[in-house]
C-alpha cells in the first residue's frame, strides 16, 4: 500500500491538484488523512477511485452520475442491475446526442456545398441566407 502526496497522485492520474481539492469539496473524493505537516496523503484505494472517476468521465458520465456509480459499488444491497440501469440511461442519452449532431452535420454540409464562389461578398453569401431562412425543424 503506497502513499501519495496530492501532487504525486495528481500527476499519476493526470489531473490538476486543484481538481483534486475540488473533488474533495464536492465529496466525490473522501477527505484524505494528513501528515504532521498538514499535507494530504492518499493511498491506493484513493488512487483507484480517482482513476475510476477519470475513466467514467471519459465515458461521458457526469460527476454526479459517477458519484452514484461509486455509491452503488459500496452499498452492499445494490445489484449489478442497478448499475446496468444507469449505464442504459447514459446510452440513451449518448444516442440522442449522436442523432442531434448528425442532423447538424447534415445541415452544415448542405451549407458548405452552397458556397461555390468563395470570393463574393458575405452580404450575398448563400450560407448566411440559408441560416436566415431556415425552417424550424419538427419539434423533438
Q: Is 18 an interacting residue with respect to DNA (CB under 7 A)? A: yes
Rounded to a whole number of angstroms, the minimum distance from the CB of residue 121 to DNA is 27
**CA-CA distance, 112 to 126, in Å (whole number)?**
9
Using DSSP's 3-state secondary structure scheme, residue 28 falls into: coil
Using DSSP's 3-state secondary structure scheme, residue 67 falls into: helix
CB crowding 88-100: b at 16 or more within 10 Å, else e: eebeeeeeeeeee
Residue 12 touches which of DNA, its own copies, none (Cβ within 5-8 Å per kind): none
**CA-CA distance, 42 to 51, in Å (whole number)?**
13
Enumerate residues 94-133 that contact its own copies by CB under 8 A.
94-95, 97-98, 101-102, 104-105, 107-109, 111-112, 115, 117-128, 131-132
Q: Footprint of its own copies on this chain (CB under 8 A)?
A: 48, 51-52, 55-56, 58-60, 69, 72-73, 75-76, 78-84, 87-88, 90-91, 94-95, 97-98, 101-102, 104-105, 107-109, 111-112, 115, 117-128, 131-132, 134, 137
Amino acid at each position: 500500500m503506497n502513499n501519495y502526496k496530492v501532487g504525486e497522485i495528481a500527476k499519476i492520474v493526470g489531473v490538476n491538484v486543484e481538481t483534486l481539492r475540488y473533488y474533495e469539496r464536492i465529496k466525490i473524493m473522501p477527505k484524505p488523512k494528513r501528515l504532521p505537516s498538514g499535507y494530504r496523503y492518499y493511498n491506493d484505494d484513493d488512487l483507484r477511485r480517482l482513476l475510476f472517476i477519470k475513466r467514467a468521465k471519459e465515458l461521458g458520465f457526469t460527476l454526479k452520475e459517477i458519484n452514484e456509480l461509486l455509491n452503488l459499488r459500496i452499498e452492499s444491497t445494490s445489484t449489478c442491475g442497478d448499475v446496468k440501469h444507469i449505464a442504459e440511461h447514459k446510452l440513451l442519452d449518448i444516442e440522442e446526442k449522436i442523432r442531434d449532431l448528425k442532423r447538424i452535420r447534415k445541415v452544415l454540409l448542405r451549407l458548405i456545398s452552397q458556397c461555390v464562389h468563395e470570393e463574393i461578398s458575405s452580404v450575398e453569401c448563400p450560407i448566411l441566407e440559408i441560416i436566415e431562412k431556415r425552417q424550424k425543424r419538427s419539434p423533438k
